[in-house]
Amino acid sequence: MPSHPPAAAAAAVTTKAANNNSTRVTHGNSLLQRVRQSSYCKGIPEETCLAVLQQVVDRACPVSFSGISGLEVCKRILYEAIILPAKCPQLFTGLRRPCSGLLLFGPPGNGKTLLARAVSRECDTTFFSISAAAITSKWVGESEKMVRALFAVARALAPSTIFVDEIDALLQARGGVHEGEGSRRIKTEFLVQMDGAGNDNSEARVLVMGATNRPFDLDEAIIRRFPKRVFVPLPDAPARTQILQSLLDTEETPNSFTPAIWQRIVAMTDGYSGHDLRQLCEEAAMIPVRDLLAEKMRNGEELTAQAYHHDLLRPLTLQDVETCIKARHPSCCPKQLKALSEWSDTYGSS
């Protein structure tokens, strides 16, 4: 295995980072200038810093806590752990130390990444959104350098939040049969950097957030670095009502659903994730379109914008939704929910 990328590969990384920087980095020039001037980033190649800066999420992200249905406990914890310390650091001294690590775990499709993106809008920290693919490299030693660069740039732009989606893919329990030397080195470097971030002063504060559907695959040492471990559950009945009505009770999908019909739909979707509900509503919304298409084809009408105007669609019916519910089952199986619930009982926090 090569010990470092060849010059051509390094040049390609530099070129790609430079080309994408203007579109992916919030106030890219000013951020890069701060990084260049920071003592934390001395000795780190500029192309590596540019690659890290590509992971900064634009604070103009349209997602906000108010736009997320349900998950009130999760939102409260995130507000207390991230937003309040960032906006009112004077309150967090002594025993009220800011949280250094927060893990969001739960079944897929329930808003973990959405919550993280809402944080990027509502707090005043620099927000890095990282995936395992952005960290790992086939070149020996490059992944560890990327981890070090990530935390160095985060400190330079502090206060910062590093969000690692599907963190189990990056930081699985050590000792597995498929674990390689490179994977072990990444985990060790991440642990070292997280410890350093937790000990930083307020001016260089870095919070690490992780999201996973499989918390039981995480290394025990990693779990200990996340003092806040927040279960993001399936939407309950009130949350499902909000989600369904926000998707189906619109001008694009007119209906005459009564409170009793909404209650029936909510009851029939028990166990559905937020993502399941969106897909269900998208499929139901297509049924009036299919009916209009069938009618026009029977009459021999051509496919034109006038013949298929939105106003010609019939209202959505309960039968439409029930048809889709029968065809689409919840994506999260009871066995996975049980395992997540048991892990929450053992490791979860509030």
CATH of the domain at 79: 3.40.50.300
Of 235, 230, 236, nearest to 343 by C-alpha is 230
Cβ partners under 8 Å of residue 12, min gap 6: none
Give phi and psi for 250, each to the nearest 5: -135, 175
From 231, 264, 281, give the residue that closes a domain: 231
Of 24, 40, 26, 257, nearest to 134 by C-alpha is 24
The pLDDT confidence band at residue 230, using thresholds 50, 70 and 90, is: very high
Task: Classify 68 as helix, strand or coil.
Answer: coil
Total number of domains in the chain: 2
C-alpha span between 4 and 141 (Å, rounded): 7
Instruction: Kindly state whether residue 345 falls inside one of the protein's structural domains.
Output: no
106-109-111 Cα angle (round to 5): 75
Of 135, 132, 78, nearest to 104 by C-alpha is 78
C-alpha span between 163 and 77 (Å, rounded): 16
Fill in the amino acid letter for 107.
P
Using only C-alpha atoms, the chain has a radius of gyration, in whole angstroms, of 24
* pLDDT reported for residue 81: 85
Mean pLDDT score of the chain: 84
From 231, 260, 276, give the residue that closes a domain: 231
* pLDDT reported for residue 251: 83
Q: Is the pLDDT of residue 161 over 50?
A: yes
- Cβ 89 vs Cβ 202: under 8 Å: yes
Query: Above pLDDT 70, what percent of the chain?
Result: 85
- Cβ 117 vs Cβ 61: under 8 Å: yes
Instruction: Kindly state whether residue 191 falls inside one of the protein's structural domains.
Output: yes
* pLDDT reported for residue 28: 63
The alpha carbon dihedral of 80, 82, 83, 86 has a sign of positive
* pLDDT reported for residue 181: 74
Q: Is the pLDDT of residue 173 over 80?
A: no
Of 129, 108, 116, nearest to 65 by C-alpha is 116
User: Does 152 lie in the same domain as 250?
Assistant: no
User: Does 184 lie in the same domain as 88?
Assistant: yes
Model pLDDT for residues 55-81, shown as the tens digit of each residue: 887 655 678 888 888 899 999 999 888
CATH of the domain at 249: 1.10.8.60
C-alpha span between 239 and 70 (Å, rounded): 5
From 178, 196, 231, give the residue that closes a domain: 231
Instruction: Kindly state whether residue 16 falls inside one of the protein's structural domains.
Output: yes
Cβ partners under 8 Å of residue 320, min gap 6: 284, 287, 288
The pLDDT confidence band at residue 179, using thresholds 50, 70 and 90, is: low
| pTM value > 0.85 | no
* pLDDT reported for residue 151: 93
Length of the chain: 350
C-alpha span between 287 and 343 (Å, rounded): 40
Model pLDDT for residues 267-310, shown as the tens digit of each residue: 999 999 999 999 999 999 999 999 988 988 888 888 777 777 77
C-alpha span between 280 and 275 (Å, rounded): 9
Mean per-residue pLDDT for 91-112?
89
* pLDDT reported for residue 88: 87
Mean per-residue pLDDT for 35-61?
83
203-225 b/e with 16+ CB inside 10 Å = b?
ebbbbbbbbbbbbeebbeebbeb
Position of tokens 């790992």? Answer: 136
